[in-house]
Amino acid sequence: MSSLTDATLDAFHLLLSGDPELWEIIGISFRVSGTAILISAPLALLTGFFLAYFMFPLRRVLISLFNTLLAFPAVVVGLVVYLLLSNQGPLGDWKLLFTQGAMVIAQSILCIPILVSMGHSAFQAADQRVWETARTLGKVPVAAFFVVVNEVKFGLLAALFAGFGRIIAEVGASMMVGGNILHYTRNIPTAIALETSKGNFAQGIALGMVLLFLAFFLNATLQYFQGKGSLSH
């Protein structure tokens, strides 16, 4: 019990003292996962919009496919990206394996189904009248799309936060395609796994606290904006 207390106190010390190695790991995590969200969000949310608003062949199949991919294990995504990027793989020439770029690719693949599925639900929550009203008021399709986005912004924000929360905390894919290289591809979850296996609990707990704080911060932000939104209705 005392060792857990000591490790927790050490963790607070590491965080508050600005330990450069710890904060570098946190920085890499945010950079990689932030880039993955920025890359995947436009395409995924647009896909969710089309699935919600337009009828086309295989639409239902696509919805089922993206819902199924929600349960795709991170380690399998890591394996697939590893095989694609390895020297013998079809994308081996890109020389991306064990780089942050590889981690971004794997994390993008992981969060696309979440963004599509939750984005689709958010767009579906706004009925057809939103699109029709925007169009009949003379908005061109792109402008009408942004009118709809504004109407479902809380749902889309929830999708973005859920996607970010999933990829910043996943360990399997990042470990396989990033290689957990110090100062380069070591992020929060891979560092926690490594430090715990070495018996260095303080750093693991400190990084775990960062993830917990992040989850709390994202939820609190969403609650704040939703609260403001509902008050204005």
Partner 1 sequence: MTRPQQIHYSSLSKSWNKKPLIESVSITAACGQFTVLCGENGSGKTTLLKIMTGLVRPDGCQILLNEEKLSWKRARSHLITHTLYLHQTPYMFSGSVYRNLTLSISKSDSPAIQRKHIEEVLEMVELDQLKHESAKTLSGGQQQRVALARASLNGSSFLFLDEPTANMDADSVNRALHFMQKLKQGGTSILVSTHSPETFKGLMDRLLVLEDHIIHEQ
Give the shortest CB-145-to-partner 1 separation in angstroms.
Answer: 14
Q: Is 96 helix (H, G, I), strand (E, B) or coil?
A: coil
Task: Locate 99 and state its tokens.
Answer: 């780089």
Residues 147-176 touching partner 1, rule: CB under 8 A, are 147, 150-151
Residue 124's Cβ-side half-sphere holds a number of Cα atoms within 13 Å equal to 12
Q: Is 132 in the site for partner 1 (CB under 8 A)?
A: yes
Give the shortest CB-62-to-partner 1 separation in angstroms.
Answer: 22
Nearer to partner 1, 151 or 170 (CB): 151
Count of residues engaged in binding partner 1, rule: CB under 8 A: 16
Q: Is 125 in the site for partner 1 (CB under 8 A)?
A: no
Nearer to partner 1, 197 or 230 (CB): 230
Neighbours of 125 (CB within 10 A): 13
Task: Locate 71 and state its tokens.
Answer: 């349960």
Please report, for the chain, how many H helices and E strands are present, in that order. Answer: 11, 0
Give the shortest CB-226-to-partner 1 separation in angstroms.
Answer: 12
Q: Which of 7, 135, 162, 193 binds partner 1 (CB under 8 A)?
A: 135
100-125 vs 74-85: helix axis angle to the nearest 10?
A: 130
Q: Is 221 in the site for partner 1 (CB under 8 A)?
A: no
Which string of b and e fits 5-32 if b means at least 16 CB within 10 Å? eebeebbeebbeeebeebeebbebbbeb
List contacts with partner 1 (CB under 8 A).
127, 129-130, 132-138, 147, 150-151, 229, 232-233
